Amino acid sequence: MKLTLALAAAAVCAVSVSAEAQTLKTIQSRGVLNCGTGANLAGFAVPDANGVLTGINADYCRALAAAVFGDKSKVKFIQLPSKDRITALQSGETDLIAATTTWTMSRDTTLGQNFRATYYYDGQGFMVKKSLNIKSAKELSGASICIQQGTTTELNTADYFRKNNMKFEPVTFATNNEATEAYESGRCDAFTTDASGLYAERMRFKAPADHIVLPETISKEPLGYVTRHGDDQWFDIVTWVHFAQVTAEELGVTQANVDEMREKSDNPEIKRLLGKEGTFGEALGLKNDWAYNAIKATGNYGEMFERNLGQGSLLKIARGQNALWTNGGLQYAAPIR
């Protein structure tokens, strides 16, 4: 029995070593992180007036680059419509997908993708023009609805209308921009996507106040960062950078005070987080100040949320489910120990 267990353990180790596909080494040799993001969605990834990509996804990729290189600028953003993200990841064009990508079973098990941490808990909704005087999604029977292809919204919409014994006319488009432009121009009665996307897109309309988001949330849309199957080391790095940012918020470590916390805090959790105790960075294949560099680059999770999506942004989305678990939300990080 002992021999069998020993052989099994050796086999697991051998598989683990062979499964490390070289993503980190490739990135380090290339000298830049290739980050696949969404295409121009406010709050997540959109160029500012100077052409600099802003948003919570862009911030995360800068934090990831800082964890790997100690330099947040060593990132190349590759903006992709939903239909092209899987191909870009599988081909190696991108090292990860940091976009509004919903974690589903089929994506996790059949498409060569890995999800772990949910960085944003979302749900699909509908937007209509106020002039239609519609107050509920259940009043949309017979409506034409603009939908982006290659997203979970297609199936969710069909399921919702079927469950409620209603009919609708899907009007599909290859990109989110095409779908929203078609809706705004009057080609559809309603537009559907994740609720965060509805608020973001409404800000781009000529008259945002003329449009309302209906109250129903018709699905669970846990948005996650995505890596390729077969590289546990890189999967761990992508996961733990997010966990480090959530942990930093829990512990009160911010972009502004991270240096002081690193030098003066006696809290063992903060010492482990910021690389003053333990060798947790080495376990990832990184330097032990990996989390310190990530937090120094873009701040903790709450800071990123606030400036891109929350009250400090144009979107002004409430934290809600995305608050820390200590504040009644769902954001919860595994411990660094």
pTM: 0.85
Determine the 3-state secondary structure of 222 from DSSP: strand
Report the 10 Å Cβ neighbour count for 239. 20
Query: Helices H, strands E: what count in the chain?
Result: 14, 14
Query: For 168-204, what is each residue's pLDDT tens digit?
Result: 999 999 888 899 999 999 999 999 999 999 988 998 8
- Mean pLDDT over 151-160 rounds to 92
Element containing residue 181 per DSSP (H, E): helix 176-185
What long-range pairs does 274-280 form, CB within 8 A, spacing at least 24?
Answer: 278/337, 280/336
Give, in order, the Cα–Cα distances in Å from 182 to each of 84, 159, 205, 250, 266.
21, 23, 12, 42, 57
Amino acid at 152: T
3-state helix, strand, coil in the chain (%, to 5): 45, 20, 35
CB 66 within 8 A of CB 32: no
Query: For 62-99, what is each residue's pLDDT tens digit?
Result: 999 999 999 999 999 999 988 899 999 999 999 999 99
On the question of pLDDT at 292 being above 90, the answer is yes
Q: Describe the crossing of helices 176-185 and 195-202 by its angle, rounded to 10 degrees.
A: 60
What is residue 4's predicted lDDT score, i.e. its pLDDT?
A: 37
Q: Which tokens hold the place of 1?
A: 């029995």
Question: Is the torsion defined by CA of 76, 79, 80, 86 positive or negative?
Answer: positive
The Cα 229–Cα 332 span in angstroms is 24
What is residue 60's predicted lDDT score, i.e. its pLDDT?
A: 98
Q: Which tokens hold the place of 81?
A: 């419509």
Counting Cα atoms < 13 Å in the Cβ hemisphere of 335 gives: 5
CA dihedral 231, 222, 44, 205 (to 10 degrees): 150
On the question of pLDDT at 11 being above 80, the answer is no
